[in-house]
Amino acid sequence: MKLSRLLTVLSLALVLVVAGCSNGGDSEEDTSSKNNEKATPPSSEEGLTIAVESNFTSLDPHDTNDNQSYSAQSAIYEGLLGFDEDLNIVPVLAKDYSANEDSTEFTFTLKEGIKFHDGAPFNAEAVKANIDRLSNPESQLRRASLFELVEKTEVLSEYEVKVTLKEPFGAMPNNFAHPAAAMISPKALEQSNQDLARNPAGTGPFEFVEWKSGDHLTVKKNEDYREEGVPKVDQIKFKPVPESGSRVAMLQTGEADFAFPVAPNQVETLKEEDGVSIETKPSLVVKYFSMNTMKEPFTNPKVRKALNYAIDKEAYIKVVYDGYASTTKSVIAPNTQHYEEQEVYEYDPEKAKELLAEAGYPDGFETTIWGGTSSLKQKMMSFYKQQLSEVGVTLNVVPMEGGTLGDKIWGVDNPEDAELELYNGGWSPSTADADWGMRPLFSSNSFPPDAYNTAYYKNEKVDELLQKGLSTADDEKRGEYYAEAQEIIWDEAPWVPLAVPDLLYGKQDYVNGLTMLPSGVMDLKQAEIVSE
């Protein structure tokens, strides 16, 4: 860090300590202290520092289930296909691709002359090694279900490969564009899954340097990257900062060049900050809390609907997101393919009480919700606690660090043994398609640890519809199947769907080219530091 930046950081840190003594240490309030000095741009050699919400879980894209980790991986890895900012599918490592009429065969022609960071050549054999790993059910990878339809992968020539599916699936290109479909060096694939999760080697614009959990993850410029002039900075350092006020303070002092997410209640503060910009865009993210439908009292649909009526979604958007969100009207977001709007459970605490009484809980009950530790997530759960208390439900809020929460949820072998009652979650279908928006969350084949059905929701008709959507290339039929599935799920209410939040991020004005995809994954390839 340059001396001027360091002095600014120390000055603001002193302000925060003093303010903390007078107000009980509420650091989110502390950020109202305006810093009138623009941050000094770092040199290209110093690179960018990005403040993020939580620690990373893995650097193995095939076994990752969070967008935060995908953001760091996007610097290191690339896939055959990808998404642009408007969710159009674009070629990346593939020069082009074609599909047969039934959408059962996908042939990729690869770009030539590319090497992985460890020197291994990128070719059809490397692609086959990756798809074989992803599609092998014995691999037990978190993203294996994206490739469960793959029957075989054939090397046609050094730079041509064909993937054959067991059944037609018209949205398969979306799955190839998902960040989980990143190509890993065949040499790196020889490591154990545990070693691979911390020692990545891809073809991306940046190479892995080090990862100190809870402190930082650093990547450096790939000097041999195939596109001239890219990347434009020498290194990027990610800093996990769970407390949202601290992320904002880092922007104010210049300790961070980019921060995501920015808490909605801190937008106005940052708008007054010289040299800092706030940007927002619609997301594919749906925020919800799930109810374990295998556990009393959530086995009863009347209880689940009562909780839906008990939560004021408009108030949730104002209190939690300061208006930077919209009410969700399905279990997938509007920009997701085959979205179908449903009738919202309007806020009606009296109706909630009636349903609880009909279900045998006239005096309510006590239950527990699990969720993350960030300021925003704890604010969400406190809001649920207040709202549910109005209808007689006592909610115990249990925030957990990401690793602990993951172990508690995905360390369960038998659904009957799951301790989970309520889970404060969010989901972004990074394929931008209804299949990945619903199948991992509502199929009875997606119970933890295989996937993310934390409601342990099971409905044979929904299973059938999701499978039909998966097994056809007819887009009109897929739309019909997914519309019916959304209607059934909405009516049976295994979730309390809450909101589709806007993406909110802050950056120094000298940062250019760093973009956020609607899924919430960063695109770092064109990131640069610009001089005035």
Element (H, E) at 193: helix 193-196
- Separation of CA 260 from chain center: 12
Highest mean pLDDT among 165-179, 462-476, 494-508: 494-508
Alpha-carbon separation of residue 265 from 235, 247, 253, 458 (angstroms)? 31, 13, 19, 38
Residues 52-88 have pLDDT tens digits of: 988 898 999 999 988 889 999 999 999 999 988 888 8
The arithmetic mean of pLDDT across residues 419-437, rounded, is 92
Tell me the C-alpha distance between 24 and 5, whole Å: 28
> pLDDT category, 327, cuts 50, 70, 90?
very high
In angstroms, what is the C-alpha Rg of the chain? 23
Please state the rounded mean pLDDT for residues 377-384. Answer: 95
Angstrom CA distances, 456 to 93, 292, 430, stand at 37, 6, 22
**Can you tell me which residue has the tokens 């990128």?**
122
Q: pLDDT for 231-274, tens place per residue?
A: 999 999 999 998 888 999 999 999 999 999 998 888 988 888 89
d(CA 384, CA 377): 11
CB 273 within 8 A of CB 509: no
Please report which helix (H) or strand (E) contains residue 90, including its range: strand 89-91
Query: What sign results for the dihedral spanned by CA atoms 201, 122, 62, 376?
Result: positive
* Residues facing residue 506 across a β-bridge: 259, 278
Please choose, from the candidates 1, 35, 18, 143, the residue with its C-alpha nearest in 3D space to the C-alpha of residue 79.
Answer: 143
Per-residue tokens: 347? 């806020």
Q: Cα(254)–Cα(237) distance, rounded to whole angstroms?
A: 14
- Would the pLDDT of 364 be above 70? yes
Q: So what's the pLDDT on residue 450?
A: 82
Does residue 329 register a pLDDT over 50?
A: yes
Does 60 or 471 have the greater pLDDT score? 60
Helix (H) or strand (E) holding 135: helix 124-135
For residues 81 and 177, the answer to whether their CB atoms sit within 8 Å is yes
- Please tell me the predicted confidence (pLDDT) of residue 390: 97
* Confidence grade of residue 16 (pLDDT, cut at 50, 70, 90): very low
* Most confident by average pLDDT, 25-34, 196-205, 515-524: 196-205
> In this structure, are strands 394-399 and 366-371 parallel, antiparallel, or unpaired?
parallel
User: Is pLDDT at 23 greater than 50 in this prediction?
Assistant: no
CA angle 299, 305, 307 (to 5 degrees): 95
User: Which residue type, as a one-letter code, is found at position 422?
Assistant: L
End-to-end CA gap in the chain: 20
Q: Is the pLDDT of residue 39 over 60?
A: yes
> In whole numbers, what is the pLDDT of the chain averaged over residues?
90
Pick the closest to residue 11 from 34, 41, 27 (CA basis): 34
pLDDT for the residue 470: 84
pLDDT for the residue 29: 39
- What's residue 34's pLDDT? 52
Whether 459 shows a pLDDT value over 70: the answer reads: yes
- The DSSP 8-state label assigned to residue 104 in this structure reads -
Res. 18 pLDDT band, cuts 50 70 90: very low
Counts of helices then strands in the chain (DSSP H, E): 17, 23
Our measurement of the distance from residue 485's CA atom to the centroid of its chain's CA atoms, rounded to an integer in Å, reads 23
Q: What is the pLDDT of residues 296-323, one digit of tens each?
A: 999 999 999 999 999 999 999 999 999 9
Alpha-carbon gap, residue 170 to 434, rounded angstroms: 12
In the chain, % helix, strand, coil (3-state, to 5) comes to 35, 20, 40
Q: Which two tokens stand for residue 161?
A: 């490969």
Q: Give the separation between CA 256 and CA 52, rounded to whole angstroms.
A: 10
The rounded percent of the chain whose pLDDT value lies above 90 is 73
**CB hemisphere CA count around 485 (13 angstroms):** 32
pLDDT tens-digit map of 181-235: 999 999 999 998 889 999 999 999 999 999 999 899 999 999 999 999 999 999 9
DSSP run (H or E) holding 277: strand 276-281
Position 5 confidence tier, pLDDT thresholds 50, 70, 90:
very low
Bridge partners (DSSP) of residue 163 are 106, 153
Q: Give the orientation angle of helix 244-253 with respect to helix 375-389, to 10 degrees.
A: 140
